[in-house]
Amino acid sequence: MELLRIEKLVKTYRTGGTALEVFAQLDLTVAEGETVAITGPSGSGKSTLLHLIAGLDSPTSGTIQYKGRPMEDFPESKLSNFRNRELGYVWQHHYLLREFTAEENVMMPLLIRGVGRIEALDIARACLDETGLAVRAGHRAGELSGGEQQRVAIARALAGSPSLLLADEPTGNLDESTAEAVFSLISRLSRARGLTSILVTHNLRFALRCDRALELRGGQLHPCVAL
């Protein structure tokens, strides 16, 4: 069943009298439960595409449909609700609050949603257990290693039980062995939870382990093949 459909997507940025077209009639369909990797050179628009899917930016033209509904029809309040309830986002940088504990960081989106503190704490601890960080739940974010911090970010993204996970270079700041562990964790949890996931990565080896690997170049998505 289809979760996301993008049709004839165009995104143009204008600086002075110059127009930069990032996407040229880009199309993409993602099925429920599918894991799609997007690769491509720096500056090709990978992060911009995730921002558009998340409703953090608007296309110049074209449509993005989520569960059959055009996102341009969502009022801002609906978009905020979509991001909080349907979407999990993992960035290259974890963006944790250093003075808060791991479990407090994971609780944040739930508290914003209005979940009670006790229930939010139970969910946060369960998610940290899923990511292998139960024993570090009470440690402040600044006391954790880079890999542990990214695991907390993954737990935070999953805490609200999203249907769509977006990950923008989630292993980009990690060493090779830690990157492998984090990518494997995302893959395992995506499948265990039945998540639809779109992962941006420069690592072709990681990309080719997903259900589908696409390369973004020239404003279009192309099948990605092993070298």
Domain boundary assignment for the chain? 1-86+162-227, 97-160
Cβ atoms 106, 124 nearer than 8 A: yes
- pLDDT, position 148: 94
- pLDDT, position 153: 94
Residues of the chain where predicted confidence (pLDDT) is lower than 70: 226-227
- Could you tell me the pTM of the whole model? 0.92
- pLDDT, position 75: 79
Q: How many CA atoms lie within 13 A of 203 on its CB side?
A: 18
Cβ atoms 33, 190 nearer than 8 A: no
- pLDDT, position 131: 94
- pLDDT, position 78: 80
- pLDDT, position 226: 65
- pLDDT, position 73: 84
Superfamily of domain 1-86+162-227 in CATH is: P-loop containing nucleotide triphosphate hydrolases (3.40.50.300)
- pLDDT, position 4: 96
